[in-house]
């Protein structure tokens, strides 16, 4: 796992943390992984900060799930009030879920007129595949070369970032992201058809986060959408990473590209940590699925999570968080760009809003995943939290909660400068 903890080094941890790691391994098993060479325990969060048991403050520049900030008071109050009133599923008539559905759909393209609710983004992706296959009568799916779309069996089959231990489905084709993306999509569709697998859909994370964070030029998805539709397939926009204002210039990543998808999956930041996700759809695309199957999710769209999701929209709107993402993100990338003149390890810096990727390269100018992990851990030691991404793990991933401001960006850049300076001194 990128920048993960090696359990064999647990003996070097302080006693309390070492005991937590030991219990975790014994109780949760080997599949659960910890971040960082030296794991960190958190007991509290507030805004863009996390706190360890000793009260030390860490700047969170990684977690997009608490999108409007850790322990946001408005969301907590909405959840608490609803818990004391009612929490039930979607099979009873109720106004709050409809009020939220209207409000959510109003942020999307008008053609997307229906929304279905799930608990997680993985479930939303799984549902999108079922809907696409029901609508087209075909099964073939195209994905980007290092995509991550979720953890259900169906979502994992279209998530090449899991590596060879989780094989892709036989009906899946991968497409490299790059200047020839549209042509590569056309090639993947042709290959599916040549093997007798009808093409159903292309699914893209609209900020291409697991592929290394590819955002520009805005609009490069338009010719791709045309190719998909000309082949009789659907375009699925996975907005779990890019959605809810993170790109700054738009509420949804697909809107930056001037396309209207057929299906849109949403998740992570939707409830600020409460388990709610969803699938927005063109009604004509959803209709064939609804005619042949019934859908029910016991916890998807429950009353408490809907209250949380509605409160998240309140905060995004009231605090101007989309606008903040746009201005702070640009400020951060400009500052990192200036830092690149001092540190040759900084390669390309790219992103949109509060989602930034920094390529890390070695002295030969090549992508260096090990060096990127060292930077991530160097920042952790300075109490700044980020991660890494991309096929080789050589792109630093900066994705903080949306209230992240210029002062926080300054602290991140200062810590990045110090971490790179320390690494350079050790290489000499």
Q: Give me the residue label for tokens 């200036």.
A: 338
pLDDT digits (tens, 9 = 90+) for 168-177: 999 999 999 9
The pTM (predicted TM-score) of the whole model is 0.95
26/61 same-domain check: no
Among 287, 318, 349, the domain boundary falls at 318
The pLDDT of residue 7: 67
Note whether 277 and 121 are within 8 A (CB): yes
Mean pLDDT value across residues 311-335: 98
Whether 1 shows a pLDDT value over 90: the answer reads no
210/236 same-domain check: yes
Cα gap 117→279, rounded to integer Å: 6
pLDDT digits (tens, 9 = 90+) for 131-169: 999 999 999 999 999 999 999 999 999 999 999 999 999
pLDDT digits (tens, 9 = 90+) for 266-301: 999 999 999 999 999 999 999 999 999 989 899 999
pLDDT digits (tens, 9 = 90+) for 43-102: 999 999 999 999 999 999 999 999 999 999 999 999 999 999 999 999 999 999 999 999
239/270 same-domain check: yes
The terminus-to-terminus CA distance of the chain in angstroms comes to 28
Residue 5's alpha-carbon distances to 10, 28, 160, 360, 384, in angstroms, are 9, 15, 22, 20, 17
pLDDT digits (tens, 9 = 90+) for 350-385: 999 999 999 999 999 999 999 999 999 999 999 999
Annotate 269-331 with DSSP letters as a single string: GGGBTBS-EEEEE-HHHHHHHHHH-----SSTT-HHHHHHHHHHHHHHHHTTHHHHHHHHHHH
Query: What pairs with residue 234 in β-bridges?
Result: 201
12/129 same-domain check: no
Query: Cα 85 to the chain's mean position, in Å?
Result: 32
Q: Strands of 111-198 (E only): list them.
A: 114-118, 140-144, 172-175
| Helix 95-105 × helix 303-318 angle, to 10° | 40
Query: What pairs with residue 423 in β-bridges?
Result: none
Among 299, 318, 337, the domain boundary falls at 318
167/275 same-domain check: yes
Domain housing 2: 1-36
The sheet carrying 114-118 orders its strands as 114-118, 277-281, 263-266, 234-238, 199-205, 140-144, 172-175
Task: Give the burial string for 324-348 (b: 16+ CB within 10 Å, else e).
Answer: bbbebbbebbebbeebeeebebbbe
159/194 same-domain check: yes
The pLDDT of residue 44: 97
pLDDT tier at 9, thresholds 50, 70, 90:
low
Q: Give me the residue label for tokens 């998240």.
A: 312
| 161: number of Cβ within 10 Å | 20
Note whether 240 and 265 are within 8 A (CB): yes
pLDDT tier at 427, thresholds 50, 70, 90:
low
Among 277, 293, 318, the domain boundary falls at 318
How many domains does the chain divide into?
3
pLDDT tier at 221, thresholds 50, 70, 90:
very high
Mean pLDDT value across residues 334-354: 97
Pairing of strands 172-175, 199-205: unpaired
Q: In 3-state terms, what secondary structure has residue 50?
A: strand
pLDDT tier at 3, thresholds 50, 70, 90:
low
The CATH number given to whatever domain includes residue 295 is 3.40.640.10
125/197 same-domain check: yes
Cis peptide upstream of residue 217 (ω within 30 degrees of 0): yes
Cα gap 312→398, rounded to integer Å: 21
357/243 same-domain check: no
91/197 same-domain check: yes
Residue partners of 408: CB distance under 8 A and separation at least 6: 48, 59, 61, 328, 400
220/281 same-domain check: yes
Query: Average model confidence (pLDDT) for the chain?
Result: 95
Pairing of strands 395-398, 356-360: antiparallel
Q: In 3-state terms, what secondary structure has residue 190?
A: helix
Cα gap 49→71, rounded to integer Å: 10
204/298 same-domain check: yes
178/208 same-domain check: yes
Q: In 3-state terms, what secondary structure has residue 70?
A: strand
């Amino acid at each position: 796992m990128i920048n993960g903890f090696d359990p064999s080094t647990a003996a070097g941890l302080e006693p309390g943390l070492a005991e937590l790691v030991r219990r975790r391994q014994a109780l949760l098993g080997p599949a659960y992984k910890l971040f960082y060479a030296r794991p960190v325990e958190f007991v509290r969060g507030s805004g863009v900060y996390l706190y360890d048991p000793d009260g030390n403050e860490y700047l969170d520049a990684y977690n997009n799930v608490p999108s409007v900030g850790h322990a946001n008071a408005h969301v907590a109050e909405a959840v608490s009030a609803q818990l004391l009133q009612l929490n039930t599923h979607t099979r009873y008539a109720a106004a709050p879920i409809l009020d939220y559905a209207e409000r959510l759909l109003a942020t999307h393209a008008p053609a997307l007129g229906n929304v279905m609710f799930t608990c997680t983004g993985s479930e939303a992706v799984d549902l999108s595949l079922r809907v696409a296959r029901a609508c087209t009568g075909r099964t073939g799916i195209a994905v980007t070369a290092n995509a991550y779309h979720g953890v259900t069996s169906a979502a994992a089959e279209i998530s090449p970032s899991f590596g060879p231990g989780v094989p892709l489905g036989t009906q899946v084709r991968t497409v490299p992201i790059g200047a020839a993306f549209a042509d590569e999509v056309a090639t993947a569709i042709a290959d599916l058809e040549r093997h007798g697998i009808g093409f159903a859909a292309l699914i893209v994370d609209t900020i291409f986060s697991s592929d290394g964070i590819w955002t520009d030029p805005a609009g490069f998805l338009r010719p791709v959408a045309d190719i998909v539709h000309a082949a009789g397939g659907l375009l699925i926009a996975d907005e779990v990473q890019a959605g809810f204002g993170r790109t700054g210039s738009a509420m949804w990543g697909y809107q930056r590209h001037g396309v209207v998808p057929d299906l849109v999956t949403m998740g992570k930041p939707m409830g600020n940590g409460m388990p709610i996700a969803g699938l927005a759809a063109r009604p004509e695309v959803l209709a064939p699925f609804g005619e042949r199957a019934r859908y029910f999710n016991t916890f998807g769209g429950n009353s408490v999570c809907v209250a949380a999701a509605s409160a998240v929209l309140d905060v995004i709107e009231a605090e101007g968080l989309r606008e903040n993402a746009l201005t702070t993100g640009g400020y951060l990338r400009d500052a990192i760009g200036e830092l690149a003149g001092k540190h040759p390890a900084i390669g390309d810096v790219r992103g949109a809003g509060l989602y930034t990727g920094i390529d890390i390269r070695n002295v030969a100018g090549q992508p260096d995943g090990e060096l990127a992990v060292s930077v991530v851990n160097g920042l952790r030691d300075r109490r700044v939290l980020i991660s890494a991404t991309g096929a080789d793990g050589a792109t630093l991933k900066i994705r903080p909660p949306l209230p992240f401001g210029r002062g926080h960006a300054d602290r991140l850049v200062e810590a990045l400068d110090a971490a790179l300076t320390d690494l350079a001194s050790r290489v000499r």
